[in-house]
């Protein structure tokens, strides 16, 4: 993955003039991928489609993707041999539409083993995610680290890495940018659309912004599926499969091997990971408290 300090930093007084420049940079990355045979030959059209879709999602609001007041997902992480490596839990909640932050999300990623790793996330935004606060704390054998992202309605993302002495850094967001917190909602928006291929920017929890290329595919006995390619030079890609309700059922991850994220239940996670069961059972709604 790219690191935040390798992304071009712009003085805030110049950001208003850089919209077309940012789109040009993204298009250049897509053109390079197209020439390598990994993508179709019309990257600008893909980016324009991504910007249009993000605008449509913003207009309808994230709350429109939730059938009830909240949504909670449990996934188990396995290697290619089926060995259980870890799990993820995420919760998405909508509140009063007129409140400053009407959408809240929280989650945990846990990987056990000799190098146990745990990542806890807390996120709040308005319904169109023009403004948001996003905190991530990671614990591993090296200790704890934390990152905070904030965005305002001017399209500026501020990244604060608490382990860095460089201070906060600010970046302009492209019209095709969306936080990875809403990854599933974004993919569902694509499924509902007429687009067969599209390009978008994913804002990751560490402040890295990665352009992705998404294409719909057909797989036997799978209601809906997509291939996703991350254009950051890491070789990471995945296939995302959905059930009839357009919920993610499985993610097949490829990067230096093959890994699976499969939808499961809270009971399975509690039984498989007794060392974290108390935490999962106590935090029936992670968004009720700031875990950072």
Strand 132-140 vs strand 143-151: parallel, antiparallel, or unpaired? Answer: antiparallel
From its phi and psi, is residue 35 left (phi > 0), alpha (psi between -120 and 50) or beta?
alpha
> Can you give the pLDDT at residue 47?
86
Across residues 200-217, what is the average pLDDT? 93
Which residues, at least 6 apart from 184, have a Cβ–Cβ distance to it below 8 Å?
A: 73, 247, 248
Confidence of residue 290 (pLDDT cuts 50, 70, 90): very low
pLDDT at 252 over 50: yes
Q: Please tell me whether the overall predicted TM-score, pTM, comes out greater than 0.85 for this model.
A: no
Confidence of residue 280 (pLDDT cuts 50, 70, 90): confident
Three-state secondary structure call for residue 27:
helix
Mean pLDDT of the chain: 84
pLDDT at 35 over 70: no
For 17, phi then psi, to 5°, come to -100, 5
Q: Write out pLDDT tens, residues 139-194.
A: 988 889 999 999 988 899 999 998 887 889 999 999 999 999 999 999 999 999 99
Q: Write out pLDDT tens, residues 45-69.
A: 898 999 999 999 999 999 999 888 8
CA distance 113 to 126: 37
Three-state secondary structure call for residue 171:
strand
CA distance 188 to 181: 13
pLDDT at 27 over 60: no
CA distance 94 to 129: 12
Total count of residues recorded for the chain: 292
């Amino acid at each position: 993955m790219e690191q935040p300090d390798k992304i071009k930093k712009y003085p805030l007084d110049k950001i208003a003039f850089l919209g077309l420049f940012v789109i040009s940079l993204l298009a250049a990355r897509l053109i390079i991928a197209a020439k390598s045979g990994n993508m179709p030959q019309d990257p600008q059209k893909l980016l324009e489609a991504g910007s249009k879709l993000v605008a449509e999602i913003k207009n309808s609001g994230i709350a429109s993707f939730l059938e009830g007041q909240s949504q909670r997902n449990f996934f188990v992480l396995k290697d290619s041999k089926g060995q259980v490596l870890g799990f993820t839990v995420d919760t998405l909640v909508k509140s009063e539409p007129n409140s400053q932050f009407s959408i809240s999300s929280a989650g945990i990623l846990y990987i056990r083993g000799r190098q146990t790793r745990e990542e806890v996330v807390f996120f709040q935004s308005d319904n169109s995610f023009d403004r948001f606060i996003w905190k991530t704390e990671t614990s591993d054998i090296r200790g704890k680290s934390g990152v905070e992202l904030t965005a305002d309605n001017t399209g500026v993302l501020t990244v604060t890495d608490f382990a860095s002495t460089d201070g906060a850094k600010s970046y302009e967001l492209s019209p095709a940018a969306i936080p990875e917190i809403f990854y599933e909602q974004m993919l569902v928006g694509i499924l509902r659309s007429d687009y067969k291929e599209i390009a978008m920017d994913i804002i990751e929890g560490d402040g890295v912004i990665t352009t992705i290329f998404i294409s719909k595919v057909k797989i036997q006995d799978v209601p809906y599926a997509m291939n996703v390619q991350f254009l950051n030079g890491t070789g990471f890609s995945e296939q995302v499969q959905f059930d009839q309700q357009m919920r993610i059922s499985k993610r097949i991850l490829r990067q230096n091997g093959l890994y699976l994220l499969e939808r499961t239940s809270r009971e399975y996670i509690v039984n498989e990971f007794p060392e974290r069961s108390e935490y999962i059972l106590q935090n029936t709604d992670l968004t009720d408290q700031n875990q950072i």
